[in-house]
Amino acid sequence: MAFDVDVLVIGAGACGLAAAIAAHDEGASVAIVEKLDRPGGNSSLSTGSVPAANSRFQREAGIVDDPATMVRDLMGIAKETDDLALVKRMAEVSAETVEWLIDTVEARMVLITAYKHIGHSIQRLHAPVSRRGQDLVDDFLKAIEKRDIPLAVGNGVDDLLVEDGVVVGARIQSTEETSDVRARKTILAVNGFAADPELVKQHCPEIAGAQYFGARGSHGDAVKWGRKVGAALANMGAYQGYAAVAYPHGSLLSWTTIEKGGVLLGQNGKRFGDESLGYSGYARVVLEQGEFAYAIFDQTIFDVAALEEEFMELVNYGGVKKADDLQTLAGFFDLDPQAVTAEIAAYNEAAEGKHADRFGRTNFGLAALKAPYYICRVVPGLFHTQGGLKVDGDARVLDQHGHAIPNLFAGGGAAAGISGKAGALGYASGNGLLTAIALGRLAGRAAAHEIAQATA
């Protein structure tokens, strides 16, 4: 049987790029196809943060961590999962994944020590200095170019090629023609299904109706293809939301502004919940309370967030407004100044320990809030679904009986994630990129090893 390539990678986000590099470096011939006109996907829109337990960068910084602690952190917020083995596997390979990124891919990443962020009890996020996922993608693309791995954008996949129950490649649709690419191994590295309203309504009803702010092309291709070949699905109700997308700018308001002590108010000038649920888990709460919400924080918190380039871009575009008093601040968006003043006073008293917060918030960061103040109008968003094809510890796609479907691998948005069984409360910072890059790397290596064994 003739093949056009050893490994065909479908999707050119962080998962697909990692898979291609890993397979190439193990001696396989590789090709990548991407249906959009540029690579990156949701990885480009992220902060580029990847959690790792017991990386050498943590050890150099004197931070004590281990995979078991990471698993406890993840399951502490997720509570339930369809695949605990995957959670453990991702924690176990997290350190080697980050070290591979920096040593082999030559990604410009550092350990973040200024904060732990949502879901992590220890500083274990590794990210580009800029906190821009596009910088990480650019480093991946340089590594792809260095290896002369072919990458064809504007080439979508119509369907998988299957012969006698075995995946043997994919049917590719370009602007000019349709062609079959035959491959010994196929790796699905496409996005999830967050841009498909019907699939979201079916599997993630609590966030249905929220604006989608993720990458174009997240239409559930892998789920649809997987169903045809009998693949099992897992964690289909889990998703990543974001509670504070600046409106109308469309960029993320750094959650540092809230995590460090800021609050979210509704149109009535009052808080409506415990913001410390996190940017993903709180998205549903923001969606339920009304069309807009308003983030309020102070100069001390602003100075911390100002270390992030994307936050300062939002500021420079006028998305964040400043005032010396709460009455003026409320006037920017026609909020009731008396309600805003009373709400911040009550919040400050809770932050100072004078009484319990009525919504149960106990972590107030740098609050109480003091003048000058800042405000940003925000809406909740859906960014990424966290469910997908069930895979084994090396990213092989599994059928309903737990057996590997021959020659088919998946990672990233195509595969089930580690953010719990349902909802958004189980999403810890960096979960999406960890599963994208780790599963991509594992898939590429395993695919190349299987080919080498079969042709030896």
Q: For 252-265, write each residue's pLDDT tens digit.
A: 899 999 999 999 99
From the options 3.30.70.1560, 3.40.640.10, 3.40.50.300, 3.50.50.60, give the CATH code of 5-46+130-194+388-455: 3.50.50.60
- What residues does each domain of the chain span? 5-46+130-194+388-455, 240-382
**pLDDT band at 215; cut points 50, 70, 90:** confident
CB 276 within 8 A of CB 261: no
pLDDT of 309: 85
Q: Quick check: 204 pLDDT over 90?
A: yes
pLDDT greater than 70 at residue 312? yes
What does the pLDDT average to over 172-177?
Answer: 85
- Has residue 113 got a pLDDT over 70? yes
Q: Read off the pLDDT of each residue in 184-197 and give the average, rounded to a whole number.
A: 96
Asked if residues 411 and 440 have their Cβ atoms less than 8 Å apart, the reply is yes
Strands 30-34 and 373-385 come out as unpaired
What pLDDT, on the 0 to 100 scale, is given for residue 287? Answer: 95
> What integer pLDDT is reported at residue 174 of this predicted model?
82
Q: What residues are paired with 40 via a beta bridge?
A: 13
Q: Using alpha carbons only, what angle is made at residue 238 by residues 117 and 18, rounded to the nearest 5 degrees?
A: 70
CATH topology of domain 240-382: Flavocytochrome C3; Chain A, domain 1 (3.90.700)
Residue 217 is predicted with a pLDDT of: 87
Evaluate if residue 355 carries a pLDDT over 70.
yes
pLDDT at 397: 98
Two domains, one topology: 5-46+130-194+388-455 and 240-382: no
CA dist 151 and 73 (Å) reads 37
Global pTM reads: 0.89
CB atoms within 10 A of CB 245: 26
Alpha helix stretches (DSSP H) within 147-243: 197-203, 221-228
Q: Going along 35-155, which residue ranges are E strands?
A: 50-51, 109-111, 125-128, 151-153
What is the per-residue pLDDT across 7-45, written as a single tens digit (0 to 9) for each? 999 999 999 999 999 999 999 999 999 999 999 999 998
- Region 133-146: mean pLDDT is 97
